[in-house]
Amino acid sequence: MELHEAGTGELATLTDWIADAQECLSWGGPRVRFPLEPEALAEQLVVAPGNSYWLYDAGRRIGFGQLLERGPGRLHLARILIDPARRGQGGGRALVAGLVEQARQRKAESATLNVYRWNPAARTLYQSLGFVATSPPAAEEVRGDDVIFMSMTLSASR
């Protein structure tokens, strides 16, 4: 599996992966409206060079995720999504590990993410990769009590 930077013209793939408004809100937050409209996605997701990535397997897009700057030395993993037909096959692990590696290459000191309490599979995955639940920085916006903020300290060498 390989991680490649996403272009704005490729985002229509996501419209097939989000089934309803609740799933859209859970994945994309309040900025992303359902039904997903390919023409509006680049703006709603704030796609910019170096912040959006596709995970490919055998030439096919199977995952999407973003790395967003959230202060000096900190990159935040966001909008992590795996093609529903490919879930449970290691794509989530490969995608998150690839995003963390991108953060390391960009010399980030830490990587953070948010995960819903009701998503134990994702929490377990993130913990297995080294993320720990912690309190968010004072300026960090976390959506409600059902969201857990997680952080990982990065080092230049692995």
User: For residue range 23-68, what is the model confidence (pLDDT) as tens digits?
Assistant: 998 899 888 999 999 889 999 999 999 999 999 999 999 999 999 9
Residue type, 85: A
Domain for residue 82, yes or no? yes
Domain for residue 158, yes or no? no
Domain of 127, CATH number, reads 3.40.630.30
Report field, pTM of the whole predicted structure over 0.85: yes
Domain for residue 135, yes or no? yes
Which of 140 and 106 is assigned the larger pLDDT? 106
Q: How many CB atoms lie within 10 A of CB 137?
A: 13
Number of domains in the chain: 1
Domain for residue 29, yes or no? yes
Residue 52 CB-density burial (10 A; 0-12 exposed, 13-18 middle, 19+ buried): buried
Write down the pLDDT at residue 143: 66
Kindly state the tokens that stand for 63: 């995952």
Residue 5 contacts by C-beta under 8 Å, 6 or more apart in sequence?
49, 50, 52, 53, 54
Domain for residue 65, yes or no? yes
Q: Which domain holds residue 83?
A: 2-153
